Structure 1
Amino acid sequence: MGDVRRKYGFDPYLALIVAVGQMVIARGASWGQRDREPLDPYAYALLLVGPLAVLLHRRFPLLTTAAALAACDLFLIAGYAYGPSFISPGVLLVLLVVRGRRLMAWFMAGMTLASFLSYAWMVGNRDIFHSVWILTSIMLLMVVAELARIVRERRAERERTAEEESRRQASEERLTMAQELHDVLAHNISLIHVQASTALHLIDANPEQARSALATIKTASKEVLGEMRSVLDVLREGAPRSPTAGLDRLDELVERSGMEVSLERVGSRPLPSQVDRAAYRIVQESLTNAARYAPGSEVSVRLEFADGELVVQVSDTGATTPAVLSESGSGNGIPGMRERASALGGTLVAGPAGPGFQVEARLPLPEETS
């Protein structure tokens, strides 16, 4: 039924409800109003015009509303019981308002008022209070319809807002995953490349050091596969996501970097997960850049837990051997680190420092609760 309504513009459920309601009320009203004409085939035919108009209302709004009003007037003029014939015009007026055809709805409401008042005067009922009652009833119906329209539009607006927010969050999540994948791949692939070059260079002259480089390649490849699986698992609904790398794994990161790295921590305190992840990725990307552009240099990593911020500083002393990967970078390393810092309300400065290079990030921290 839902497909029929969407494809052809029919309302079978509502039409059936109106048909049953009019028939039941007509029998009761006819039994209670003995002075009116009893129901006959002509009366039932007029009562079926309204449900048929409701069925076709989406495709022919003005024509069906006018047809239902005409059937209602004919039902009254024929002398049948008051009540059942009013249902279809009322439903159609409400549908016009709710579906956004307000001007047409108010025009047809005026036509309904004119026809009802004309019938009352025609049968000799010229009581001013009866006329006011008819006017009030139609106005009340239209006010209720307008309120229903407002409620419907506000609900639709809330749904649109929720959908836009959902799309925005999904876009942010995709951006985060892309950034995570970039950091993971850039660091580990660069490390694998450097170690592979070292192994090839030393495999004959120094097999033990070459073996160590190959072991580092094995560890790095396992790490990149694990982290990629962790990030991509988010794309599968309900899939668990393993904890993202943080500063607790910094020693492991330094160990497998293949460079001389000194690590210094000044102070300590629990960190929010976003800050913890960002600090780790900044150190990781900085080590990647050092391996790519400054091979053979000495690298120092300093973490300072100052008041209200975490200062991450990574500096190198400059390349001592040719930078075999200097032309293979993506160019997104430093901008990506700066974006991570900015997203947390922090700053990141990167540039030459003497013969080497230095990255310094300042990430704000919430106040510690006692």
Structure 2
Amino acid sequence: MKWTKDALWAGAVLAGVYVLTVLQGPPLEFSGFALIVVTCALLAFRRRFPIWVAFGTMVGCGVYYPFAGSAGPLLATFVVALYSVAATGRLVVAIGIAVLAMAGIVLGEAASPVRHLDNISMFMLVGWLVAVIALGAVSHGRRALVAEAEKRATSEERLRIARELHDVLAHNISLINVQASAALHRTGQETDALTAIKQASKDALRELRATLGVLRQVDEQAPTRPPGLGQLSDLVERTRATGLAVTVDGEPRALPAEVDLAAYRIIQEALTNVTRHASARAVTVRIQYDDKDMRVRIDDDGHGAPGGGFDEGNGIRGMTERARSVGGELTVRGGATGTRVSARLPIGGDL
């Protein structure tokens, strides 16, 4: 595709140079026409071999003007080639080629008995060369910024999806593990444990399909709406099924989608870590709001050793990243009487 565009661009330049040359000067001889065709044709290779094309167009112009004809804008081919060199990031090379071209013009004018370019024309030519090199450098910088932004956006999206997958799988698989252990060790509770396992696995598959649907971008019947505090009651019930006493203080309310998801995932991860690591019997989830922020606090009565007994690898780091992603902050404090997870998430002043 790029080859076709470059070939069309070279053809357009050839047509323009030829027409203007015929209109401006005396009849064009075959040698002059051949030089115009060859020099313009080099532009078809300007992306693949920008430096060689710049030298080739410079030589073509250097032969054409003294020997084949003084009229016509063939110099435009060298200008385009010089821009292409600068646009690839080879700024020093482009400046060197421009200096070499100007040196050749100055020496040619000095050696010629007839002056072809006056001082004003020489100054304008230098200005054009400086301008096209600057434009090429700006174009290269803009493309580099766009590429970096796209790379950063891709990395952030991968990180977001990784967090979603971790939160979905860690929470639900932890519940399945706890209920499976209950089914093995608690006589008479097998049915309840298996029911909880069934529900947890169903929820895990539903959220996993919703997350992967972002990658597949296909139309599915599975719900793709991200979870939020509206599903907090379901989350609490699933956690209670493990035998953990969970109390909720505060009601969900309308929130920005990103904050709603972050608050839900922080509570989910905190409950998951309590279930897996803290050996707690009771957990309290508190949700509070003010004009600009919401605060989420999860307290448990487990073995609150330094670090909270939490998953240092992904648990605390994942919750911290959730809070920071929406401009908030998170702290975890552990002690002999339990662990406290506190998060502040900005919600704006219009809620």
TM-score band by shorter chain is 0.7 to 0.9
The structure-2 alpha-carbon separation of the partners of 1:361 and 1:48, relative to structure 1 and needing over 3 Å to count, comes to same
**Equivalence map 1:234-253=2 (5 Å):** 234-237=214-217, 242-253=224-235
Q: CA deviation at 1:350?
A: 3.0
Aligned-pair CA distance for 1:15? 5.4
- Structure 1 residue 162: Cα displacement: 1.5
Paired residues for 1:97-116 under 5 Å = 99-100=85-86, 101-115=94-108
8 Å Cα contact 2:230/2:252 also seen in 1: no
| Match runs of 1:37-116 below 5 Å | 43-56=29-42, 58=50, 59=52, 61-62=54-55, 65-75=58-68, 83-84=71-72, 87-92=73-78, 95-96=81-82, 99-100=85-86, 101-115=94-108
Change (3 A) 1:308 1:190: same
Q: Residue type matched to 1:111 in 2?
A: G
Indicate the SS of the match to 1:364.
strand
Task: Letter of the 1:350 partner, please give it.
Answer: R
Q: In the aligned structure 1, how far is the partner of 2:75 from the partner of 2:340?
A: 75
- Shift, 1:21, TM fit: 4.7
Identity of aligned residues (%): 31
Output the amino acid matched with 1:136: I
Mapped to 2, the partners of 1:348 and 1:54 lie a distance apart of: 66
Unmatched runs of 5 consecutive residues or more in structure 1: 6-10, 77-81, 123-130, 320-326
* Paired residue type of 2:71: G
- Which of 322, 347, 352 is residue 335 of structure 2 equivalent to? 352
Q: Deviations over 1:147-205 (max 9, x none)?
A: 23322321221121111111111111111111111111111111001111212234xx4
2:258 paired residue among 261, 274, 294: 274
What SS does the aligned partner of 1:65 have?
helix
Tell me, yes or no, if the aligned pair for 2:14 and 2:41 is still in contact at 8 Å. no
Query: Match for residue 126 of structure 1?
Result: none
- Asked if the contact 1:16/1:51 (under 8 Å) is kept, the reply is no
The code of the aligned residue for 2:237 comes to: E
| Cα contact 1:348–1:360 (8 A) shared by 2 | yes
* Structure 1 residues 289 and 307, CA gap change in structure 2 (3 angstroms): same
Cα distance change, pair 262–73 in 1 and its aligned pair in 2 (3 A):
closer
Q: Is the 8 A contact 2:294 2:345 kept in 1?
A: yes
- Give the secondary-structure state (helix, strand or coil) at the position aligned to 2:74: helix
Q: CA RMSD in A?
A: 3.4
Q: Is the 8 A contact 1:341 1:361 kept in 2?
A: no
Offset at 1:317? Answer: 3.1
Larger radius of gyration: 1
Tell me the alpha carbon deviations over residues 3-41 of structure 1, each in whole angstroms, 9 at most, x when there is no partner. 499xxxxx75565455545554555456xx6xxxx66xx
2: CA distance, partners of 1:347 / 1:296: 21
Number of aligned residue pairs: 327
1:102-141 matches, cutoff 5 A: 102-115=95-108, 119=112, 121=113, 131=115, 134-141=118-125
**Secondary structure in structure 2 of the residue aligned to 1:177:** helix
State the one-letter code of the partner of 1:360: V
Gaps of 5+ in 2: 44-49, 87-93, 304-308
1:300 pairs with 254, 278, 284, which one? 284
State the SS of the aligned residue for 2:302. Answer: coil
Deviations 1:40-86 (A, max 9, x none): xxx2123312432343475364465335423432235xxxxx524xx
Taking structure 2 as the reference length, the TM-score comes to 0.78
- CA deviation profile, 1:269-325 (whole Å, cap 9, x unmatched): 432222222221222122222222355712222222245432322233338xxxxxx
**Distance change in 2, residues 1:215/1:108 (3 Å):** same
Indicate the residue corresponding to 1:365 in structure 2.
346
| CA positional deviation for 1:363 | 1.1
Pick closer, same or farther for the CA change 1:268–1:233 going to 2, 3 Å: closer
Structure 1 counterpart of 2:321: 339
Any conservation in 2 of the 1:337–1:348 contact (CA below 8 Å)?
A: no
2:197 aligned to which of 193, 214, 217? 217
1:227 aligns with 2:213: no
Report the TM-score, using the length of structure 1 for normalisation. Answer: 0.74
CA distance in 2, matches of 1:96, 1:182: 51
2:164 counterpart of 1:180: yes
